[in-house]
Amino acid sequence: MELVIENVSKKYKKDSYGLRDLSLKIETGVLGLLGPNGAGKSTLMRILSTITKPTEGKVSWNGIDISKDPNAVRSILGYLPQDFGVYPHLNAVEFLEYLASIRGLDYKVARKRIDELLQLVNLHDARKKPLNSFSGGMKQRVGIAQALLNDPKLLIVDVPTVGLDPEERIRFRNLLSELSGDRIVILSTHIVSDVESTATDIAIVNQGQLVIHTAPSELLAAAAGKVWEWLVPSQTWMEVRNQLLISSTIQSSEGVRMRVIADNQPSANSRLVNPTLEDAYMYSISAEKQLVKS
């Protein structure tokens, strides 16, 4: 299986691009698609799911141009959009049965599949309750279930953990890992922790362009020697924070312990530490911005 994105651009207005000349080759496994809000991730997801077409370039699924033959990918696609909605007066089973019928799934096969999926997303006990009584996290789990209805070979999930509590987030990450063995999974998010334990590859997008496509280990290696931990007294914290690229902070009685991304030691009191994936992500975005400026 292979999904190939070749020089794809999406132009909205005269000088407004959602994507610009983006190329990416995706194979079996979990691709963590990272980038800040407005980076172009959702635009790319809509193109890959055949909701919209690129202005330039093409996307191919196993050698077939999906703009010319969208059914080639729609038949094997599972998609959870960022703005997923439900029919509030249906219960979970009725809603999933409705979506299964639209997709042409056999009724008996669909009923068995729906029962399995509701168990998988921990909604089996609530399956007969109307969806308007569901919390935001529960509705998101229904969205995950509908994306898996046809046992897709290409699964695209756009910011899927919004509204999920910590236990649900962990369950969902484990689910993605289990699903990735014989399919392509694209997890689009700005939340680095969502991909940290699941992604076999990472692609970072910023301002509609691909910054880097690499393995998590290589992304971490690129940030080695660039991350510093520094305990700053609370009274001087406000003075230094705007001068530094900070990936995280922890308040304590001693002051503010922060992780700083910098080529050189920011203070004699700081110490070099191993980068996390969030550190490495921020370093890549920062390095790309500096390259654009130069």
pLDDT tens profile 251-277? 988 899 999 999 999 999 999 999 999
pLDDT of 294 > 60? The answer is no
Q: pLDDT tens for residues 74-125?
A: 989 999 987 788 899 999 999 999 999 998 899 999 999 999 999 988 899 9
pLDDT band at 291 (very low <50, low <70, confident <90, very high): low
- Which tens digit of pLDDT belongs to each residue from 159-212? 777 667 788 788 778 888 887 778 999 999 888 888 887 899 999 999 999 999
What is the pTM (predicted TM-score) of this model?
A: 0.88
Please answer whether residues 18 and 12 qualify as being in contact, where contact means their C-beta atoms are separated by less than 8 angstroms. Answer: yes
Q: How far apart are CA 275 and CA 224, in angstroms?
A: 6
Length of the chain in terms of residues written:
294
Alpha carbons 40 and 47: distance in angstroms, whole number: 11
Mean pLDDT of the residues in the chain? 90
DSSP letter at 268 equals T
Helices 92-102 and 136-147: crossing angle in degrees, nearest 10, is 30
* Distance of alpha carbon 258 from alpha carbon 248, whole angstroms: 6
* Burial of 179 (C-beta count, 10 Å sphere; 0-12/13-18/19+): middle
Could you tell me which residue, 41 or 196, shows the higher pLDDT? 41
